[in-house]
Amino acid sequence: MIGSASVNRFAWAADDVDAWLEAIRAVQPLGGNHEAAMAAGRHLRLASAAAVPRLLAGMDGANPLAQNWLRGIIQSVVQRAESAGQPIPLDELEKFLQDTSHAPRARRFAFDLLAARDATAPDRLIPGWLDDPSLELRRDAVSAEAGRARGLLDGGQSAEGVRALRRAFQAARDVDQVKAIAESLRNAKEKADIARHMGFLMDWYLIGPFDNRDKRGFDVAYPPESEFDAAKTYPGKEGVETHWIRHATSDDFGVVDLNTALAKHKGAIAYAFTEFLSNEDRPVELRLGCINGNKIWLNGQLLTSNHVYHASTFVDQYTGHGKLLKGRNTILLKIAQNEQTEQWAQNWKFQLRACDSIGTAVLSQDRASEQAASTPRLPIR
């Protein structure tokens, strides 16, 4: 326990470390649990340098605010230890860093501490992180491999340079790195399938427009929300019959422009439907970029709903967390356009990808080959 008497002593007691760490981990925004956390922090700052790996482990599973508190405490411990001439346990830091079960932010901080004190660490360690689950560490490895590839290409070693580019491309998860490395591959006359690499869904059935005047259609359950039948027609906006059409995008980032596919409409709702074949039950993230109001359903379950218009759009703007079932799965999107007349409010488009928690593509089984990825795959019903 953290009692007032022990708080006033500010003594380091190894047996109390877990309790003090839990006090830090319980900190919440707006002052929640701050008094107990501040008391625990005063004790933990008295730790020796040998305790740094244990303090780093306290970041595992902690909320971002608690991780920030622990980072500050660890920095204080390190600075105090070095001022007193105590050695920092670099071997233990490296062991902690290389253990992928630890929190990515904790591992990154461990690397920063290590690299500041061991000049050999970056060159020794970074190349091994191309498949690391920490996106920050992986990014460093991708950058290093892409740089190595450029050096090889500039030195006339084109075959090895291209192989290095492919390794970097395969490992890249951040959009800016994916784009840059794909451009380098294409400049080298090599293929780079960004859409497949990132898991963008390219083939859709589309239907619309349905009525969204005064934005009242966003929560109206039009027929596509309860059934999919490619042969059926439905009364759409202003009573005009509307039917499903097939549409395949060739955009690198899977962008579907509804103004082009369905014609330009304002105050309108469109639906997009596709199937996804999975070889197992597994979690999946459906990540949507969309400047319009939107909803995502997976197998009839609503994953996310965002009634926002023309604020911004970017890759992975909205994330729906769901579960793929072994076999056939259905994905349905609702994309709502409002009635703004400004030039900047005319876009009606979306992009959707399927991936895991760190952005690795999850591909439908009928997209398992390059050929399948480049041909329309939706069934005619």
Structure pTM? 0.89
Mean pLDDT value across the chain:
93
pLDDT above 60 for 92: yes
What pLDDT is attached to residue 12? 59
pLDDT above 90 for 369: no
Contact 36, 3 (CB under 8 A): no
- How confident is the model over 66-76, as pLDDT tens digits? 999 999 999 99
pLDDT above 80 for 200: yes
pLDDT above 70 for 328: yes
- How confident is the model over 242-287, as pLDDT tens digits? 999 999 999 999 999 999 999 999 999 999 999 999 999 999 999 9
pLDDT above 60 for 319: yes
**Range of weakest confidence among 78-92, 131-145, 175-189, 363-377:** 363-377
- How confident is the model over 169-195, as pLDDT tens digits? 999 999 999 999 999 999 999 999 999
Q: What is the 3-state secondary structure (H, E, C) of the chain?
A: CCCHHHHHHCCCCHHHHHHHHHHHHCCCHHHCCHHHHHHHHHHHCCCCHHHHHHHHHCCCCCCHHHHHHHHHHHHHHHHHHHHCCCCCCHHHHHHHHHCCCCCHHHHHHHHHHHHCCCCCHHHHHHHHHCCCCCHHHHHHHHHHHHHHHHHHHHCCCHHHHHHHHHHHHHHCCCHHHHHHHHHHHHHCCCCCCHHHHHCECCEEEEEEEEECHHHCCCCCCCHHHCCCCCCCEEECHHHCEEECEEEECCCCCCCEEHHHHCCCCCCEEEEEEEEEEECCCEEEEEEEEECCEEEEEECCEEEEEECCCCCCCCCCCEEEEEEECCEEEEEEEEEEECCCCCHHHCCCEEEEEEECCCCCECCCHHHCCHHHHCCCCCCCC
Q: Two tokens at 307?
A: 């009634």
